[in-house]
């Protein structure tokens, strides 16, 4: 599965859709750690079909980052039923990232 690209317009609908957890990657194109995590998230999007992977560019949609108190990037928020249930920031290995997501399945 490919990643969803979120905007301010489709954010709420996207994190509520489908009945499965949604991981939102709050990122920016200039962010070095975001570039490290990008390929890991893309790989997991293909492997973990029971989680929807989504990205939100904080430069293009700063109000969404502010809404969820995103103070550093990359920040990842897991939503279930439209509500945030986990939030973490920074880089990690693919295995650690996957284990963090599996807690919400």
- Residue 20 has a CB neighbour count (10 Å cut-off) of 14
**At a CB cut-off of 8 Å and minimum separation 6, what does 20 contact?**
50, 51, 52
Catalytic residue from among 31, 61, 89, 98: 31
Catalytic residue from among 34, 44, 77, 101: 34
- 80 catalytic? Reply is no
- 34 catalytic? Reply is yes
E strand or H helix at 56, and its extent? strand 52-57
Catalytically active residues are 31, 34
């Amino acid at each position: 599965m490919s990643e969803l690209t979120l905007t301010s317009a489709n954010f709420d609908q996207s994190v509520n859709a489908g009945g499965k957890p949604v991981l939102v990657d709050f990122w920016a194109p200039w962010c070095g750690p975001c570039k490290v995590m990008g390929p890991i998230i893309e790989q997991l999007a293909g492997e973990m079909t029971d989680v929807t992977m989504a990205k939100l560019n904080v430069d293009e949609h700063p109000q969404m980052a502010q809404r969820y108190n995103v103070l550093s990037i990359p920040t990842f928020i897991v939503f279930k039923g439209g509500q945030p249930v986990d939030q973490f920031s920074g880089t990690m290995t693919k295995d650690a990232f996957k284990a963090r997501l599996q807690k919400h399945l």
